[in-house]
Amino acid sequence: MNIYSMTRPKIVAVDGPAGSGKSSICATVCRDLNWSYVNTGALYRAVGLLAGDRGVPLTEGPALSRVLHEFAESARWEHESARLFVGVEDFTPRLNTVEAGNAASCVAKMPTVRDALMPHQRKLSLTAPRGAIVDGRDIGTVVFPDADLKIFMTASLEQRAMRRLKQIEKASGPTEFSHDDIMRAIALRDQQDSQRDSAPMRIADDAIVFDTSHMNLEMAIESLKELLRAKGLVK
Ligand code: DC
Protein backbone atom coordinates (compact mmCIF):
# COMPACT_ATOMS: atom_id res chain seq x y z
CA MET A 1 0.00 0.00 0.00
CA ASN A 2 1.44 3.41 -0.93
CA ILE A 3 0.85 6.74 0.86
CA TYR A 4 -1.72 7.78 -1.75
CA SER A 5 -3.90 4.74 -1.17
CA MET A 6 -3.63 5.25 2.61
CA THR A 7 -5.01 8.77 2.46
CA ARG A 8 -7.60 8.69 -0.29
CA PRO A 9 -11.24 7.66 0.32
CA LYS A 10 -12.25 4.13 -0.57
CA ILE A 11 -13.16 3.93 -4.25
CA VAL A 12 -15.48 1.35 -5.76
CA ALA A 13 -15.49 1.36 -9.58
CA VAL A 14 -18.69 0.16 -11.23
CA ASP A 15 -18.61 -0.15 -15.02
CA GLY A 16 -21.14 -1.67 -17.35
CA PRO A 17 -23.53 -1.10 -20.23
CA ALA A 18 -26.59 1.17 -20.34
CA GLY A 19 -29.54 -0.06 -18.31
CA SER A 20 -27.63 -2.60 -16.23
CA GLY A 21 -28.93 -0.86 -13.11
CA LYS A 22 -25.72 0.92 -12.17
CA SER A 23 -27.18 4.30 -11.28
CA SER A 24 -30.23 3.15 -9.28
CA ILE A 25 -28.26 0.50 -7.39
CA CYS A 26 -25.17 2.61 -6.70
CA ALA A 27 -27.16 5.71 -5.68
CA THR A 28 -29.17 3.76 -3.11
CA VAL A 29 -26.17 1.88 -1.71
CA CYS A 30 -24.35 5.20 -1.31
CA ARG A 31 -27.33 6.81 0.40
CA ASP A 32 -27.65 3.87 2.83
CA LEU A 33 -23.91 3.81 3.62
CA ASN A 34 -23.47 7.59 3.67
CA TRP A 35 -20.96 7.33 0.80
CA SER A 36 -20.77 9.61 -2.24
CA TYR A 37 -22.16 8.52 -5.57
CA VAL A 38 -20.32 9.78 -8.64
CA ASN A 39 -22.29 9.23 -11.84
CA THR A 40 -19.70 9.93 -14.55
CA GLY A 41 -22.22 9.37 -17.37
CA ALA A 42 -23.97 12.54 -16.14
CA LEU A 43 -20.83 14.53 -16.98
CA TYR A 44 -20.74 13.17 -20.55
CA ARG A 45 -24.47 13.81 -20.85
CA ALA A 46 -24.10 17.41 -19.62
CA VAL A 47 -21.24 18.11 -22.05
CA GLY A 48 -23.32 16.68 -24.92
CA LEU A 49 -26.30 18.84 -23.94
CA LEU A 50 -24.17 21.94 -23.52
CA ALA A 51 -22.65 21.41 -26.98
CA GLY A 52 -26.19 21.13 -28.41
CA ASP A 53 -27.26 24.31 -26.58
CA ARG A 54 -24.28 26.17 -28.04
CA GLY A 55 -24.90 24.79 -31.56
CA VAL A 56 -21.57 22.96 -31.59
CA PRO A 57 -21.31 19.75 -33.70
CA LEU A 58 -20.69 16.82 -31.35
CA THR A 59 -17.68 15.50 -33.24
CA GLU A 60 -15.82 18.74 -33.87
CA GLY A 61 -12.75 18.75 -31.62
CA PRO A 62 -11.75 22.45 -31.62
CA ALA A 63 -15.32 23.72 -31.14
CA LEU A 64 -15.89 21.13 -28.41
CA SER A 65 -12.81 22.48 -26.62
CA ARG A 66 -14.67 25.76 -26.09
CA VAL A 67 -17.63 23.84 -24.66
CA LEU A 68 -15.29 21.88 -22.38
CA HIS A 69 -13.71 25.11 -21.22
CA GLU A 70 -17.12 26.54 -20.35
CA PHE A 71 -18.01 23.29 -18.59
CA ALA A 72 -14.79 23.35 -16.55
CA GLU A 73 -15.40 26.96 -15.56
CA SER A 74 -19.06 26.77 -14.67
CA ALA A 75 -20.16 23.19 -13.89
CA ARG A 76 -20.97 22.39 -10.28
CA TRP A 77 -22.01 19.04 -8.86
CA GLU A 78 -24.00 19.05 -5.60
CA HIS A 79 -23.17 15.79 -3.83
CA GLU A 80 -26.05 15.95 -1.33
CA SER A 81 -28.86 16.59 -3.80
CA ALA A 82 -27.11 14.80 -6.75
CA ARG A 83 -27.79 17.83 -8.97
CA LEU A 84 -25.57 19.09 -11.77
CA PHE A 85 -25.54 22.81 -12.57
CA VAL A 86 -23.86 24.51 -15.50
CA GLY A 87 -23.74 28.18 -14.52
CA VAL A 88 -27.13 28.91 -12.99
CA GLU A 89 -28.96 26.27 -15.05
CA ASP A 90 -29.88 23.02 -13.34
CA PHE A 91 -29.14 20.38 -16.00
CA THR A 92 -30.44 17.51 -13.82
CA PRO A 93 -33.98 17.28 -15.32
CA ARG A 94 -32.53 16.93 -18.85
CA LEU A 95 -29.84 14.37 -18.06
CA ASN A 96 -31.92 11.21 -18.48
CA THR A 97 -33.53 12.15 -21.79
CA VAL A 98 -32.86 10.21 -25.00
CA GLU A 99 -31.31 13.37 -26.48
CA ALA A 100 -28.78 13.54 -23.63
CA GLY A 101 -27.89 9.83 -23.93
CA ASN A 102 -27.28 10.06 -27.66
CA ALA A 103 -25.25 13.25 -27.34
CA ALA A 104 -23.20 11.68 -24.52
CA SER A 105 -22.39 8.58 -26.54
CA CYS A 106 -21.19 10.78 -29.39
CA VAL A 107 -18.97 13.13 -27.37
CA ALA A 108 -17.65 10.19 -25.32
CA LYS A 109 -15.81 8.95 -28.43
CA MET A 110 -13.68 12.09 -28.52
CA PRO A 111 -10.32 11.80 -26.70
CA THR A 112 -10.41 15.59 -26.01
CA VAL A 113 -13.65 15.12 -24.10
CA ARG A 114 -12.44 12.05 -22.20
CA ASP A 115 -9.18 13.78 -21.23
CA ALA A 116 -11.00 16.94 -20.13
CA LEU A 117 -13.51 15.04 -17.98
CA MET A 118 -10.88 12.86 -16.28
CA PRO A 119 -9.86 15.44 -13.62
CA HIS A 120 -13.54 16.20 -12.83
CA GLN A 121 -14.25 12.52 -12.27
CA ARG A 122 -11.19 12.07 -10.08
CA LYS A 123 -11.78 15.25 -8.08
CA LEU A 124 -15.45 14.49 -7.43
CA SER A 125 -14.49 11.01 -6.21
CA LEU A 126 -11.37 11.88 -4.23
CA THR A 127 -13.11 14.67 -2.30
CA ALA A 128 -15.75 12.25 -1.00
CA PRO A 129 -15.69 12.49 2.79
CA ARG A 130 -16.06 8.71 3.31
CA GLY A 131 -15.99 6.49 0.26
CA ALA A 132 -17.24 6.85 -3.31
CA ILE A 133 -18.94 4.53 -5.74
CA VAL A 134 -18.03 5.77 -9.20
CA ASP A 135 -20.01 4.46 -12.13
CA GLY A 136 -19.23 4.64 -15.85
CA ARG A 137 -17.63 2.65 -18.64
CA ASP A 138 -13.88 3.00 -18.01
CA ILE A 139 -13.66 3.64 -14.27
CA GLY A 140 -11.89 0.39 -13.33
CA THR A 141 -9.73 0.39 -16.46
CA VAL A 142 -8.74 4.06 -16.91
CA VAL A 143 -10.03 6.52 -14.28
CA PHE A 144 -9.29 4.44 -11.16
CA PRO A 145 -7.17 1.42 -12.17
CA ASP A 146 -6.23 1.23 -8.46
CA ALA A 147 -9.85 1.15 -7.18
CA ASP A 148 -10.40 -0.84 -3.97
CA LEU A 149 -13.09 -2.90 -5.66
CA LYS A 150 -14.05 -3.19 -9.34
CA ILE A 151 -17.41 -4.38 -10.50
CA PHE A 152 -18.68 -4.92 -14.02
CA MET A 153 -22.45 -4.67 -13.81
CA THR A 154 -24.49 -6.15 -16.62
CA ALA A 155 -27.91 -7.60 -17.50
CA SER A 156 -29.63 -9.08 -20.54
CA LEU A 157 -30.41 -6.69 -23.39
CA GLU A 158 -34.18 -7.23 -22.88
CA GLN A 159 -34.04 -6.32 -19.21
CA ARG A 160 -31.86 -3.33 -19.82
CA ALA A 161 -34.25 -1.99 -22.48
CA MET A 162 -37.19 -2.42 -20.12
CA ARG A 163 -35.41 -0.48 -17.37
CA ARG A 164 -34.27 2.26 -19.76
CA LEU A 165 -37.83 2.71 -21.04
CA LYS A 166 -39.07 3.23 -17.48
CA GLN A 167 -36.25 5.68 -16.80
CA ILE A 168 -37.08 7.72 -19.93
CA GLU A 169 -40.78 7.78 -19.05
CA LYS A 170 -39.93 8.96 -15.56
CA ALA A 171 -37.68 11.73 -16.93
CA SER A 172 -39.78 12.88 -19.90
CA GLY A 173 -43.27 11.38 -19.52
CA PRO A 174 -44.94 9.04 -22.05
CA THR A 175 -42.71 8.32 -25.02
CA GLU A 176 -43.31 7.24 -28.62
CA PHE A 177 -40.40 4.76 -28.33
CA SER A 178 -41.27 1.06 -28.05
CA HIS A 179 -39.35 -1.61 -26.12
CA ASP A 180 -37.92 -2.80 -29.46
CA ASP A 181 -36.78 0.71 -30.39
CA ILE A 182 -34.98 1.04 -27.07
CA MET A 183 -33.45 -2.43 -27.44
CA ARG A 184 -32.03 -1.48 -30.85
CA ALA A 185 -30.76 1.85 -29.50
CA ILE A 186 -29.06 0.16 -26.54
CA ALA A 187 -27.44 -2.49 -28.74
CA LEU A 188 -26.05 0.29 -30.91
CA ARG A 189 -24.88 2.21 -27.82
CA ASP A 190 -23.16 -0.94 -26.48
CA GLN A 191 -21.39 -1.34 -29.79
CA GLN A 192 -20.27 2.31 -29.85
CA ASP A 193 -19.11 2.23 -26.23
CA SER A 194 -17.19 -1.03 -26.54
CA GLN A 195 -15.69 -0.53 -29.99
CA ARG A 196 -14.49 3.07 -29.82
CA ASP A 197 -10.74 3.66 -29.92
CA SER A 198 -10.59 5.84 -26.83
CA ALA A 199 -11.10 4.02 -23.50
CA PRO A 200 -13.62 1.46 -24.78
CA MET A 201 -15.91 -0.23 -22.29
CA ARG A 202 -14.38 -3.54 -21.26
CA ILE A 203 -14.28 -5.77 -18.21
CA ALA A 204 -11.17 -4.99 -16.13
CA ASP A 205 -9.05 -8.11 -15.50
CA ASP A 206 -9.65 -7.84 -11.75
CA ALA A 207 -13.36 -6.92 -11.90
CA ILE A 208 -16.19 -8.99 -10.45
CA VAL A 209 -18.96 -9.53 -12.99
CA PHE A 210 -22.32 -8.69 -11.39
CA ASP A 211 -25.31 -9.78 -13.48
CA THR A 212 -28.57 -8.13 -12.39
CA SER A 213 -30.83 -9.80 -15.02
CA HIS A 214 -32.63 -11.87 -12.42
CA MET A 215 -32.42 -9.49 -9.49
CA ASN A 216 -34.94 -6.91 -8.44
CA LEU A 217 -33.62 -3.59 -7.16
CA GLU A 218 -33.66 -4.62 -3.48
CA MET A 219 -31.75 -7.86 -4.16
CA ALA A 220 -29.16 -6.04 -6.23
CA ILE A 221 -28.67 -3.37 -3.55
CA GLU A 222 -28.18 -6.02 -0.84
CA SER A 223 -25.76 -8.03 -3.02
CA LEU A 224 -23.64 -4.97 -3.75
CA LYS A 225 -23.49 -4.08 -0.04
CA GLU A 226 -22.47 -7.66 0.68
CA LEU A 227 -19.58 -7.36 -1.80
CA LEU A 228 -18.41 -4.17 -0.08
CA ARG A 229 -18.58 -5.89 3.30
CA ALA A 230 -16.77 -8.97 2.03
CA LYS A 231 -13.99 -6.70 0.77
CA GLY A 232 -13.79 -5.01 4.20
CA LEU A 233 -14.78 -1.60 2.82
CA VAL A 234 -17.76 -1.20 5.15
CA LYS A 235 -18.89 -2.95 8.33
O1 DC B 1 -24.08 5.66 -18.17
P2 DC B 1 -24.78 6.61 -19.13
O3 DC B 1 -25.82 5.94 -19.98
O4 DC B 1 -25.30 7.83 -18.44
O5 DC B 1 -23.62 7.11 -20.14
C6 DC B 1 -23.91 7.96 -21.22
C7 DC B 1 -22.85 7.77 -22.29
O8 DC B 1 -21.60 8.27 -21.83
C9 DC B 1 -22.63 6.34 -22.74
O10 DC B 1 -22.79 6.22 -24.13
C11 DC B 1 -21.22 6.02 -22.40
C12 DC B 1 -20.58 7.33 -22.06
N13 DC B 1 -19.74 7.19 -20.88
C14 DC B 1 -18.42 6.90 -21.08
O15 DC B 1 -18.00 6.73 -22.21
N16 DC B 1 -17.59 6.81 -20.01
C17 DC B 1 -18.05 6.99 -18.77
N18 DC B 1 -17.20 6.90 -17.73
C19 DC B 1 -19.41 7.25 -18.54
C20 DC B 1 -20.25 7.34 -19.63
In a domain? residue 196: yes
Report which secondary-structure segment, H or E, holds 57: none
pLDDT band of 82, cuts 50, 70, 90: confident
Residue-level pLDDT at 1: 47
pTM, to two decimals: 0.92
Quick check: 3 pLDDT over 70? no
In a domain? residue 6: no
Residues constituting the chain: 235
Torsion of CA 173, 177, 183, 188, to 10 degrees: -100
The domain of 110 spans 11-229
In this structure, the residue with its CA closest to atom 9 of ligand 1 is: 105
Using alpha carbons, select from 159, 162, 199 the residue that is nearest to residue 177: 162
Read off the pLDDT of each residue in 70-90 and give the average, rounded to a whole number. Answer: 91
In this structure, the residue with its CA closest to atom 2 of ligand 1 is: 41
Q: What single-letter amino acid sits at 21?
A: G
**Residue 64 CB neighbour total at 10 angstroms:** 24
Centre of ligand 1 from the C-alpha of residue 96, in Å: 12
Residue-level pLDDT at 49: 98
Pairwise pLDDT comparison (219 vs 6), residue with the higher score: 219
C-alpha distance from residue 136 to each of 7, 60, 174 (Å): 24, 23, 27
In a domain? residue 3: no
CATH number at residue 216: 3.40.50.300
Quick check: 219 pLDDT over 90? yes
CA distance 224 to 86: 32
Quick check: 5 pLDDT over 80? no
Domain count, the chain: 1
In a domain? residue 123: yes
Residues with Cβ within 6 A of ligand 1?
Answer: 18, 40-41, 44-45, 101, 104-105, 108, 136-139, 189, 193
In a domain? residue 5: no
In this structure, the residue with its CA closest to atom 18 of ligand 1 is: 136
Choose the residue to mutate in 49, 113, 137 for probing ligand 1, maximizing ligand atoms within 8 Å of C-beta.
137
Residue-level pLDDT at 200: 94
In a domain? residue 235: no
Quick check: 78 pLDDT over 90? no
In a domain? residue 158: yes
Tell me the pLDDT tens digit for each residue of 101-141: 889 999 999 999 999 999 999 999 999 989 999 999 999 99
Residue-level pLDDT at 135: 97
Residue-level pLDDT at 4: 52
Quick check: 42 pLDDT over 70? yes
Residue-level pLDDT at 189: 87
Determine whether 43 is exposed, middle or buried from the number of CB atoms within 10 Å of its CB (0-12, 13-18, 19+).
buried
In this structure, the residue with its CA closest to atom 1 of ligand 1 is: 41
Read off the pLDDT of each residue in 16-35 and give the average, rounded to a whole number. Answer: 94
